[in-house]
C-alpha cells in the first residue's frame, strides 16, 4: 500500500502520467506502453481511491461514458485485478465480446460470472505474475 501511494504522489508531482514518462520517472509497464504507443485508456475512480492518480476520471457518470466510448469497437477485453472495473466493463460490453478477467481472488471472478457475463473467462492468478508471463509469451510470438 505504501508503494502504491508513493507512486501516485510521484506521478502527481510530475504533473500526470505523460509528464512522468517524459521526465523519465515512468520507464516501462502498462501505462507507459499505452501512452508511448498511443493506446487510449480510461482510468475510472472508485469511492475507495487512495489518490486518485492524475488522469483519473472521478465522476462515475463521466467515467462510464468514457468507458462506453472506448469499448464500442472492442473485440477482446483483458481486465486485470479490479473487481469493480471488471463488472462495469462486463456490463458495458456487448454479449459477443470476449473478456478475460485476471484476479487473485476467486470471489471476484464468481461475482462477474453471477452477473451473467457468459462471454467471460476467469483466471485466478497473481496479476503481476500473469502480466510478466503474458509479456514473455508475446515477445516470443512477435
What is the structure's pLDDT at 110?
85
Q: What are the tens digits of pLDDT across the range 62-114?
A: 999 999 999 989 999 999 988 888 888 888 988 889 999 999 999 888 888 77
Residue 2, pLDDT above cutoff 80: no
What single string gives the DSSP state of each residue in 1-36?
A: -HHHHHHHHHHHHHTSHHHHHHTTS--SSHHHHHHH
* Chain CA centroid to CA 21, Å: 18
What single string gives the DSSP state of each residue in 91-124?
A: HHS-TTSEEEEEES-HHHHHHHHHTT-TTEEEEE
The mean-pLDDT minimum among 13-27, 38-52, 116-130 falls in 38-52
Q: Phi/psi at 134 (nearest 5 deg)?
A: -60, -45
What is the structure's pLDDT at 68?
95
**What mean pLDDT comes out for the span 124-130?**
94
Residue predicted with more confidence, 116 or 108: 108
**What mean pLDDT comes out for the span 122-137?**
93
Residue 139, pLDDT above cutoff 80: yes
What is the structure's pLDDT at 1?
59
Q: What are the tens digits of pLDDT across the range 24-52?
A: 999 998 899 999 999 999 999 877 776 78
- Residue 54 is classified by DSSP as T
Nearest alpha carbon to residue 41 among 25, 49, 29, 50:
29
* Rounded distance between C-alpha atoms, residue 96 and residue 107, angstroms: 24
What is the structure's pLDDT at 19?
97
- Residue 38 is classified by DSSP as T
What is the structure's pLDDT at 84?
84
The answer, yes or no, to whether the previous bond of 52 is cis (omega within 30 of 0) is yes
Amino acid at each position: 500500500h505504501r508503494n502504491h501511494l508513493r507512486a501516485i504522489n510521484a506521478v502527481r508531482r510530475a504533473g500526470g502520467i505523460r509528464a512522468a514518462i517524459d521526465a523519465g520517472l515512468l520507464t516501462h509497464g502498462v501505462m507507459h506502453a499505452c501512452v508511448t504507443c498511443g493506446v487510449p485508456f480510461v482510468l475510472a475512480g472508485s469511492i475507495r481511491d487512495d489518490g486518485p492518480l492524475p488522469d483519473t476520471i472521478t465522476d462515475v457518470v463521466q467515467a462510464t461514458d468514457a468507458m462506453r466510448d472506448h469499448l464500442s469497437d472492442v473485440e477482446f477485453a483483458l481486465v486485470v485485478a479490479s473487481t469493480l472495473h471488471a463488472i462495469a466493463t462486463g456490463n458495458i460490453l456487448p454479449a459477443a465480446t470476449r473478456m478475460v478477467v485476471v484476479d487473485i481472488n476467486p470471489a471476484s471472478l464468481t461475482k462477474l460470472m453471477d452477473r451473467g457475463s457468459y462471454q467471460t473467462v476467469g483466471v485466478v492468478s497473481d496479476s503481476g505474475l500473469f502480466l510478466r508471463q503474458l509479456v514473455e509469451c508475446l515477445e516470443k510470438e512477435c
